[in-house]
Amino acid sequence: MEASSSSSSVIMAAASSSSSSSSCFACCFRFIKLRRKRCLERVADVTSTSATSITASRSQGEEAQRKQGLHQNHPRQFSWDELERFSSNFSRVVGSGGFSTVYLSQFPDSSLGAIKMIHGATSSQRLHRVFKQELDILLRLRHDNIVKLLGYSDHPEESILVFEYVPNGNLQDKLHTAKTRRGGKTGAGADGDEEEEEESGLSWNSRIKIAFQLAQALEYLHHKCPLQIVHGDIKASNILLDRHLNCKLCDFGSAKMGFASSVLPPFSSSSSAMSSSSSSRMMLGSPGYADPHYLRTGIASKKNDVYSFGVILLQLITGREALCSRTGHKLTSIAAPALRDPSKLPQLLDPRLLRGDDPELLEQVKVMASISAMCLCDSPALRPSASDILNAIATNIPSFPFPSSYYYSSSSS
């Protein structure tokens, strides 16, 4: 009996001990499980916070890149809503052409831009092709004297190009519509130099600078682009001027890529010229600027641009339009006798440039006139290249403060 009682006591003690151990293990398991749950919740919180932070940071970075892209060499595609917002619903027109309207825009960083809306590009295959061609060329260009492309939009209704805003109008306006006035400047900050510039339209030094910079832009297009480019429509209204009167060449709607391209003549007296394919063909150049050799043969080349550059030089010298709207006479015909006989040049010189007897100015005018005469040669083979033009200006007008970068690039090329 005693042994049995003792055995029962042992069994009960063991059972009690086992029960106590099980209870202890259960408590430990629940504690570990609760601790693990809280740990997982903290990890989830940290992960969620990190993901939110990363997303916000990425979003801010993308927005910064979008804003930064406007002023670096990264044109981007704009949405229609953005363009409407930036242009205040296209409310301020700053320019217009045959198939386009240009609107002023203001970006979030307060900088200004010019939105060129090409009308009918989505409904006309020819205009849409011109838009695509111009966009393709502009995306390849990076030069200080070529207007900068900030972005574009190929909207179903309208095709749009977005450029930097160039605030000082164009060469056509400066030469031919500038109002001459004396003492017209008022208010603080108006000094004598600005007043003289306003009175004369453009000083002679400013005209030399514009000619030199335009030649630099042509040299870049003709010789320094991987696929050499013919602009095809060099004229005074396509030369924009910034606040410091630096040249910005624009409008590449007529441009062609490649060393040279042969096309059918733009006009013909034959009946076949009246076909739909011929009537849709675009002519290179504008009246008064177009290369007669191109008009006769239909052969488009870099020397078409050089001819037009020669006309620009004549405009800078004479202050006259390339084609007289009143008489229909071309400036090249009017200036031909003076180009053959430099002693007649003073008769053609823009009266706004005359400041008494100035031998240095007259010598520089003769240099520019001789370069113009070479550019206007009937045979394209006899016309200088853009590089030749730059060297001729820099060599024969050494007193002009040409940029040091030009001499560096010339010596290293």
234: in domain: yes
CB atoms near residue 353 (< 10 Å): 20
Residue 177 domain-assigned?
yes
- Distance of alpha carbon 384 from alpha carbon 2, whole angstroms: 132
For the chain, how many structural domains are there in total? 2
Mean pLDDT of 71-92: 87
Confidence of residue 213 (pLDDT cuts 50, 70, 90): very high
Name the residue with higher pLDDT: 370 or 12: 370
Q: In sequence order, what E strands does 55-158 have?
A: 76-77, 93-96, 100-106, 112-118, 149-154
Instruction: Tell me what the pLDDT averaged over the chain comes to.
Output: 78
Q: Do 173 and 159 lie in a common domain?
A: no
Q: Would you give the distance in Å from CA 141 to the centre of its chain?
A: 8
Residues 160 and 115 grouped into a single domain? yes
Asked if the structure places residue 18 within a domain, the reply is no
Q: Is 42 within the bounds of a domain?
A: no
Confidence of residue 364 (pLDDT cuts 50, 70, 90): very high
Coil/strand/helix, residue 319:
coil
Q: Classify residue 46: in a domain, yes or no.
A: no
CA distance 196 to 162: 34
**318 in the same domain as 213:** yes
130, 137, 164: which is closest to 149 by C-alpha?
A: 164
244 with 287, same domain: the answer is: yes
Q: Which of 95, 130, 165 is the last residue of a domain?
A: 165
| Same domain flag for 128 and 248 | no
Could you tell me if residue 285 is left (phi over 0), alpha (psi between -120 and 50 degrees) or otherwise beta? Answer: left
Would you state the pLDDT for residue 273?
Answer: 40
Does one domain contain both 293 and 384? yes
Fill in the amino acid letter for 198: E
What torsion, rounded to 10 degrees, do the Cα atoms 14, 20, 21, 24 define? 180
The number of residues in the chain equals 413
154 and 176 in a single domain? The answer is no
- Say what the alpha-carbon torsion angle 79, 80, 84, 85 is, to the nearest 10 degrees: -30
- Decide if 363 is inside a domain: yes
**What's the CATH code of the domain at 110?**
3.30.200.20
Same domain, 266 and 137: no
Clarify whether residues 400 and 264 are in a common domain: yes
CATH number of residue 294's parent domain: 1.10.510.10
Question: What is the average per-residue pLDDT within 188-200?
Answer: 41
What average pLDDT score do residues 220-239 get?
95
Distance CA(385)–CA(218), nearest Å, equals: 9
- Tell which residue, 156, 120, 152, 119, has the closest CA to residue 138: 152
**Residue 216 belongs to a domain:** yes
- Please check the confidence at residue 276 and state whether its pLDDT lies above 80: no
**pLDDT tens-digit profile of 20-71?**
444 544 444 455 556 555 655 554 554 454 444 444 444 454 444 444 445 5
Q: Is residue 402 part of a domain?
A: yes
Domain identity same for 150 and 176? no
- CA of residue 86 relative to chain centroid, distance: 18
Question: Side by side, which strands form the sheet with 159-164?
Answer: 76-77, 149-154, 159-164, 112-118, 100-106, 93-96
For 44, 325, 332, 333, the CA distances from 328, given in Å and listed in that order, are 81, 6, 12, 11
Q: Are residues 111 and 199 in the same domain?
A: no
Give the pLDDT score at 413: 52
Give the distance between the most distant pair of CA atoms in the chain.
Answer: 152
Beta strands (DSSP E) in 295-358 are: 299-301
For residue 350, give its domain range.
169-182+190-412
Catalytic residues: 233
7 in helix, strand or coil? Answer: helix
Tokens in use for 377?
Answer: 């040669």
Q: Quick one: how many helices (H) and strands (E) in the chain?
A: 14, 12
110 and 195 inside one domain: no
